[in-house]
Amino acid sequence: MTKRIALLVLLLVLMTACSSPDSENQSMDQNDNQTDVSDQVSDTPSEGGDMEEPADRTIDGQGIVIFYNGSVLTMNDAMPVAEAIAIQANIIVAVGSQEEVFVYQEDGTQMVDLEGRTLMPGFVDGHSHLMISYNSDAGDLLANQQDILAQGMTTIADMGGDFGETIAQLQEMEASGELRMRVSMYLNQVSVCGEDWGYWYEDFSQSLDPNALVQIPGVKIFLDGGACNKLARSVGDPGDLYFTLEEATQIVSDIDARGFQAAVHALGDRAIDQVLQVMAAVIGDGPNEMRHRIEHNASVRPDQIPLYNDIQPVAMVFGGSIACWWSQANEQFDQSPEGESVNWEWPTRSLIEANPDVVFAWHDDVPVFPLGSIEQLWGFVTRKELAEDGSICEPPDFAAAQAIPVETALKLMTINAAYALFRDEQVGSLEAGKYADMIILSDNPLTIDPDDLINLRVLVTMVNGRAEYCNQGMLSRCP
């Protein structure tokens, strides 16, 4: 057994010490948190191969590690909840009941008892500005990736902002072994203030190598204001719409013709009008093979909501809530809608329910929102927000009605976001053949009270089968 596998197993076996009295913030009653999943596991054998006669179980001499005695949330509709999972090197080899997965046990197999904890795919952030922000503000991508891993994020997307410098730095980090997570980098053609930078990105090509940590899926453009200038609205202040319909269609058509996915910023409902028409022109009768995306979808009129299903763009939505702004006029978001149009804000549930054929995916848009995957999950499900003083802002009725079930939120934050990045064949769900990008949580988000989601803790984050983050309460025991 290799040293890396030995260290990984030691880490995860020792994590049970988190519930000891000397680590109060990690205490957990294992009996109370044990989840009976026997009735939820499919009788169909897992995709890991023939359960009676497993395939060759060594990859370059590395043995299998089996995680069991917990809840395994797979994000795979064929088997939503399992009892155990087996990984070998960086690959998942089996997911299913303990009986099915234990077929892979042999002399030397490492057995990791989850003791009732929950294992699930790592979070996938489909739109952020983490790499650019860290590169320009903190100046240290290497150190700050630890903050991202601590949130249980194993894959992120950065929406660009420089002219390839960060991509080059990340590729150097990957080559040297210093990059410890997956990063999808987007190239910018139109700036946040509406300046068209042209086709400088032609020096690159779409890069979706499944074995690469750094990928380049597409190009980002802005149709209206928000971070710079104002949202393009149809009520009150009309805001700033940067292009005519013809100009916007030409830009997205050119991105498509050059083999890139288009990620189109559209916040206000006037911008939504335009981007839906642009997508209809570029995608045509479909399918949306390039997975062209609409970013944010923040202010959507009721008449616009059912139109997504006809066009089928990938639609990115916020997990975090702005309940403090809605209830207290928080100055962070000072472009207030007027009158009845406030009810158009962030209609997440309405969009999802009206458009069953559309892939909706999570984005946190850091630094617009603070880095926090657990807080974003809680925001999706409750539409509540933590104020700066630690108090909780309650959403108004129209916003509370847009809360989504935790099962839906988890998919938006894993497999759907992976789809938005062309990574769904690699990560985002726990299935045989995919990479072992997984996290272990302190409790099961499917069984706890929605208000308690904010108290979930990421205990371990694994990328490619390797533990890349260990919770604070476990640092003294982590190899």
- pLDDT surpassing 60 at residue 19: no
- pLDDT surpassing 50 at residue 9: no
% of the chain exceeding 90 in pLDDT: 69
Co-location of 149 and 85 in the same domain = no
> Of the candidates 397, 420, 443, which is a domain's last residue?
420
> Could you give the C-alpha distances from 233 to 230, 236, 269, in angstroms and in order?
9, 7, 5
- pLDDT surpassing 60 at residue 402: yes
Q: Which one-letter amino acid corresponds to residue 174? A: E
Question: Where does the pLDDT of residue 329 fall: very low under 50, low under 70, confident under 90, or very high at 90 and above?
Answer: very low
Instruction: Provide the pLDDT for residue 414.
Output: 98
Q: Torsion over CA of 4, 372, 125 and 333, rounded to 10 degrees?
A: -160
In a domain, 425, yes or no: no
Which residue segment(s) compose the domain that 350 sits in?
123-420
Q: Which residue has the higher pLDDT, 318 or 14?
A: 318
Instruction: Provide the pLDDT for residue 63.
Output: 85
Instruction: Provide the pLDDT for residue 338.
Output: 60
For the packed helices 269-283 and 245-257, what is the interaxial angle rounded to 10 degrees?
50
* Beta carbons of 223 and 242 less than 8 angstroms apart: yes
* Residue 195 tokens, joined: 């300046």
Co-location of 339 and 439 in the same domain = no
- Which CATH number characterizes residue 255's domain? 3.20.20.140
Instruction: Provide the pLDDT for residue 13.
Output: 37
> Could you give the C-alpha distances from 317 to 126, 194, 213, 289, 331, in angstroms and in order?
9, 22, 24, 20, 21
Q: Could you give the 3-state DSSP secondary structure of residue 354?
A: helix
- pLDDT surpassing 90 at residue 276: yes
In a domain, 75, yes or no: yes
Q: Tell me what the mean pLDDT of segment 81-110 comes to.
A: 95
Query: Which one of 13-27, 35-49, 111-125 scores highest in mean pLDDT?
Result: 111-125
Query: Which one of 60-64, 131-135, 174-178 scores highest in mean pLDDT?
Result: 174-178
For 283-345, give the DSSP string: HTTS--TT--EEEE--B--TTTGGGHHHH--EEEEE-S--HHHHHH--TTS-----GGGGGGB
Co-location of 148 and 274 in the same domain = yes
Q: Tell me what the mean pLDDT of segment 109-115 comes to.
A: 89
> Could you give the C-alpha distances from 1 to 4, 85, 87, in angstroms and in order?
8, 19, 14
* Beta carbons of 419 and 412 less than 8 angstroms apart: no
287-297 pLDDT per residue, tens: 999 999 999 99
Please state which of the ranges 60-69, 236-245, 353-362 shows the lowest mean pLDDT. Answer: 60-69
Co-location of 182 and 316 in the same domain = yes
Question: Where does the pLDDT of residue 342 fall: very low under 50, low under 70, confident under 90, or very high at 90 and above?
Answer: confident
* Beta carbons of 212 and 180 less than 8 angstroms apart: no
- Which CATH number characterizes residue 117's domain? 2.30.40.10
> Of the candidates 420, 438, 454, which is a domain's last residue?
420
Co-location of 405 and 257 in the same domain = yes
Co-location of 276 and 366 in the same domain = yes
153-194 pLDDT per residue, tens: 999 999 987 788 889 889 999 999 999 999 999 999 999 999
CA 275/CA 265 separation, integer angstroms: 9
In a domain, 439, yes or no: yes
Co-location of 153 and 289 in the same domain = yes
Instruction: Provide the pLDDT for residue 332.
Output: 47
Instruction: Provide the pLDDT for residue 421.
Output: 98
In a domain, 389, yes or no: yes
User: Which of 339, 329, 331, 417 is closest to 373 using CA atoms?
Assistant: 417
Co-location of 333 and 453 in the same domain = no
